[in-house]
């Protein structure tokens, strides 16, 4: 019901209602749960409707933009998080879907990790070069299209296998839609949600000391 209200506010471009619904959900469930239970299913439903020809791509685009703005406003309200913990490289691999990366960046920062945001649309060679030059201990990659996911093996190879190579953590819609995809691609750390990003960061890098 609430997801439907959020979805219809997005499609009617009612930014105020979008912001209010998000704030209400946040007050009830906390930031991460509000995002997972409202933004993710609403955008997923919008994607399905577009696929079935009931929505135009422009409506999908505008819904994404409005979510980005609403989330940015919420994040800024808390003040920019100051992080001093381990560094994590983060990027959207090959495609241009940025909403998931923003959410992952925000929860990692809020948990004390320093995020090096490499942007979006990066190919395997470019991304590996950036991560290796920065010597990040972990590289998180958001992937929204199956076609992009199919190139992750190239990224894995370009990162190399020496002990200095960053731990590769991937996430995004193709892995949520097909839970076996990560295994098929030979990837070890595959996340389905922003909470999984924190889970892997803690597992491999430890919990940052509070400041």
| Residues of the shown chain interacting with ligand B12 in the complex, contacts defined by CB under 6 A | 36, 39-40, 43-44, 46-48, 51, 57, 60-61, 64, 95-100, 103-104, 140-142, 144-147, 169-173, 176, 191, 193-194, 196-197
**CB 180 → ligand B12: shortest distance, Å?**
16
Q: Considering only CA atoms, which of 65, 40, 46 is closest in space to residue 196?
A: 40
Task: Annotate 104-122 with b (16+ C-beta within 10 A) or e (fewer).
Answer: bbbbbbebbbebeebebeb
Taking the C-alpha atoms of residue 64 and residue 95, their distance in angstroms, rounded to an integer, is 15
**CB 175 → ligand B12: shortest distance, Å?**
7
Instruction: State which residue, 34 or 173, has the beta carbon closest to ligand B12.
Output: 173
Q: Measured between alpha carbons, how far is residue 199 from residues 106, 107, 154, 202 in Å? A: 14, 11, 25, 5
Instruction: State which residue, 28 or 56, has the beta carbon closest to ligand B12.
Output: 56
Instruction: State which residue, 98 or 111, has the beta carbon closest to ligand B12.
Output: 98
For residues 96 and 68, the answer to whether their CB atoms sit within 8 Å is no
Instruction: State which residue, 50 or 211, has the beta carbon closest to ligand B12.
Output: 50
For residues 122 and 77, the answer to whether their CB atoms sit within 8 Å is no
**CB 51 → ligand B12: shortest distance, Å?**
4
**CB 113 → ligand B12: shortest distance, Å?**
12
**CB 57 → ligand B12: shortest distance, Å?**
5
Return the residue matching tokens 């960046």. Answer: 105
Instruction: State which residue, 46 or 127, has the beta carbon closest to ligand B12.
Output: 46
Instruction: State which residue, 192 or 211, has the beta carbon closest to ligand B12.
Output: 192
**CB 168 → ligand B12: shortest distance, Å?**
9
């Amino acid at each position: 019901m609430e997801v439907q209200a959020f979805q219809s506010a997005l499609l009617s471009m009612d930014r105020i209602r979008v912001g209010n619904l998000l704030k209400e959900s946040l007050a009830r469930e906390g930031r991460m749960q509000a995002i997972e239970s409202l933004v993710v299913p609403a955008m997923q439903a919008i994607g399905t409707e577009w696929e079935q020809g009931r929505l135009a791509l422009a409506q999908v685009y505008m819904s994404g933009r409005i979510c980005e703005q609403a989330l940015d406003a919420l994040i800024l309200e808390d003040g920019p998080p100051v992080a001093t913990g381990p560094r994590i490289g983060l990027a959207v691999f090959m495609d241009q879907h940025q909403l998931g990366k923003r959410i992952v960046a925000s929860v990692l920062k809020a948990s004390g990790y320093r995020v090096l945001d490499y942007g979006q649309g990066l190919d395997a060679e470019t991304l590996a070069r950036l991560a290796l030059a920065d010597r990040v201990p972990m590289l998180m990659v958001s992937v929204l299209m199956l076609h992009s996911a199919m190139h992750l093996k190239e990224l894995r190879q370009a990162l190399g296998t020496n002990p200095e190579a960053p731990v590769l953590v991937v996430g995004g819609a193709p892995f949520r839609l097909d839970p076996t995809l990560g295994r098929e691609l030979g990837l070890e750390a595959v996340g389905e949600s922003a909470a999984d990003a924190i889970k892997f960061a803690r597992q491999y890098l430890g919990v940052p000391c509070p400041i």
